[in-house]
Amino acid sequence: MGLVERFSKLRSRWSRSFPPNLARLMLLACAALWGGSYLLAKFAMEAIAPQWLMAIRMFGACMCMLALFHRHIIPSLTPKIIVPALVVGLTYWGTMVTQTTGLQTIDPGRSAFLTAAYCVLTPFVTWIVSKNQPRLINLIAGIICLIGVGFVSLKPGGSFSLGMGDWLTIATAIIFSFNLTYLGVYAKRFDPIALTFVQFAVAGVLFFVGAIATEPAPNAGWLAPSVVASVLYLFLGATMSAQIMQNIGLAHVPASQASIIMCTESLFAVSFSALFWGERIMWSSLVGFALIFAAVLMSVIRPTKHSLHRN
């Protein structure tokens, strides 16, 4: 029996016994954990440089995945997976290095909403890579998102300005769109768990090399209890636990509902940042955040068969 058939039977058996509302709560918890990761990463980077932090996170994830899923991963480590590993690993590294570097100079909530623009950009990147033309709603969402970014960049006095951290975070959204698109292409050819593992492994190596070449060496400040707690949250909470809850939730909640629930990640991020980091949110930023969030929702909502027939 193939992997797809086993997964279908497992999903069917779980669907009879797993409460859908619990699955929705798990997806919401997943979004909350991701939202909190911006704040904890910001805090951890006061002691640990960005690439060192991500290298620790990637290698830790690789070790856990290898321990839990070695039966999926090891058989897939053949020469055929080298090119896909380099593509998804390089784009994932680009995503995380721009995001974490940008997060050094902007607030967590702002970072979360600018990063969320990847949902709007992905259909257009898919058009470039896979020739799947985006819908009209995607074009409208893109325009609304661009207006939202304009409001986010509005400064007191009416001038428009985006700092280096903002531009790096916008680059994050663009690169992440390519990463997701290529993951979607290669996941049809390779075991998704193995593909995730090689993505983390390649990105981890790049982070490690970059850290050695450009960042200060590890020091005793890394062992401060608050820093260790932040790193553990990023690894155990935002990476391992969130991924498990996402996978379970997606097995029992329709993709359209799940996407909307997980989009609340940016709302959690700005809420946590305002409460615990003291991020001050101007009215123009609130308008921009609302427009970006609306654009994200427009990008992930799919018309139902009922509405299509009705029209």
CB 87 within 8 A of CB 186: yes
Q: What is the pLDDT of residue 159?
A: 56
CB 165 within 8 A of CB 103: yes
How many Å apart are CA 291 and CA 135, to the nearest integer? 19
CB 108 within 8 A of CB 230: no
pTM for the complete prediction? 0.76
CB 128 within 8 A of CB 118: no
Q: What is the pLDDT of residue 158?
A: 55
Could you state, in order of their start, the residue ranges of all structural domains in the chain?
A: 25-154+163-300
How many Å apart are CA 115 and CA 22, to the nearest integer? 28
Burial track 250-283 (b if 16+ CB lie within 10 A, e otherwise) = bbbbeeebbbbbbbbbbbbbbbbbeeebebeeee
The SS3 of residue 269 is helix
Q: What is the pLDDT of residue 141?
A: 81
Q: What is the pLDDT of residue 86?
A: 93
How many Å apart are CA 95 and CA 176, to the nearest integer? 5
Q: What is the pLDDT of residue 212?
A: 94
Q: What is the pLDDT of residue 190?
A: 81
CB 181 within 8 A of CB 130: yes
DSSP H helices in the chain: 3-17, 20-44, 50-76, 82-103, 108-115, 118-130, 136-152, 164-186, 192-214, 225-232, 242-250, 255-262, 265-272, 283-300, 305-310
Identify residue 79 by its one-letter amino acid code.
Answer: P
Per-10-residue mean pLDDT of the chain, 311 residues long, equals: 46 58 86 88 87 88 85 88 92 90 85 82 81 78 80 65 86 88 80 84 93 87 87 83 74 68 82 81 81 79 49 40
Q: What is the pLDDT of residue 7?
A: 44
Q: What is the pLDDT of residue 177?
A: 86
